[in-house]
Amino acid sequence: MKRIPVRQAISHIAKIGYKALELTLMPTWDTEPRLLSKTDRTEIRKQIGDLGLELSAVMESLRLGPNTDQGMYLERLRTAAEVAHELSPGAPAMIETAVGGRPSAWEDTKGEMADQLRVWAKTLEALKTVLAIKGHVGNALDRPEKVLWMLDHVTSPWIRICYDYSHYKIHELDLRKTMHQLVGRSALIHVKDSVGSEQNYRFLLPGDSGEIDYKEYAQILSEIGYEGPVMAEVSVQLSEQPGYDAVAAAKRCWDNLAPFFM
């Protein structure tokens, strides 16, 4: 809902029936931290509470690896944690991000990425804020085994996973297997559909491809015992298209998912 003012967007989300939301803190959004005054943050926190919603996460776009400005990313991490605490002080929202990099450079860069993530983890420990890193097609962490390698080499309770099967489906990986690999270490789940190959893929609204069985998805979550948030995500491949209707998209996501997750 990038083009809808945040207070209106929150109202739409509650009216549709959602119980939780994620706010985007990246540049060009009206929820970018530098645009949120103390008054804005107080009013948004109150609105979320008054509507019976939970702010589960805030989204950033942070990067690990060679030739990245780690000073800048650490500052953005601190700022995101500040917003997370101010908007949901009882149980601070987690921060969610992909971490960039290239799959082809994984073996050469994974050690440096892990070292940098350890620094992030120490910062997050002091801030008492969880970071959920996302496996993402086209990024260094494009497959479950890479995500697990990173967690195992950083070993911090403040670093968790954002699981999003749409990225693994593009690699033709099995839903059940990837969920059993990752969901137990996940703090957040994103759901959307995807079609195509690694070289040519498209993301769709959850349920629109008909290729992901969300009844099975919910059943597996129950088997694993996952109790965290499940968030519908709309890709920029859709939201940047001419004529995109954010409220209609949110309603369609709800209609496609609610029968299985509510």
Q: Which of 155, 168, 167, 161 is nearest to 114 (CA)?
A: 155
Contacts of 214 (CB under 8 A, 6+ apart): 191, 206, 207, 256, 257, 260, 261
The structure tokens 């549709």 sit at: 16
pTM for the whole thing? Answer: 0.96
Name the residue among 240, 244, 140, 252 with its Cα closest to residue 192.
Answer: 252
- 242 Cβ partners below 8 Å, 6+ apart? none
- The domain segmentation of the chain, as residue ranges, is 6-261
Q: What pLDDT score does 168 carry?
A: 98
Burial of 92 (0-12, 13-18, 19+ CB in 10 A): buried
CATH architecture of 6-261: Alpha-Beta Barrel (3.20)
Over its length of 262 residues, how does the chain's per-residue pLDDT go in tens digits?
A: 999 999 999 999 999 999 999 999 999 999 999 999 999 999 999 999 999 999 999 999 999 999 999 999 999 999 999 999 999 988 899 999 999 999 999 999 999 999 999 999 999 999 999 999 999 999 999 999 999 999 999 999 999 999 999 999 999 999 999 999 999 999 999 999 999 999 999 999 999 999 999 999 999 999 999 999 999 999 999 999 999 999 999 999 999 999 999 8
> Helices (H), strands (E): how many in the chain?
10, 9
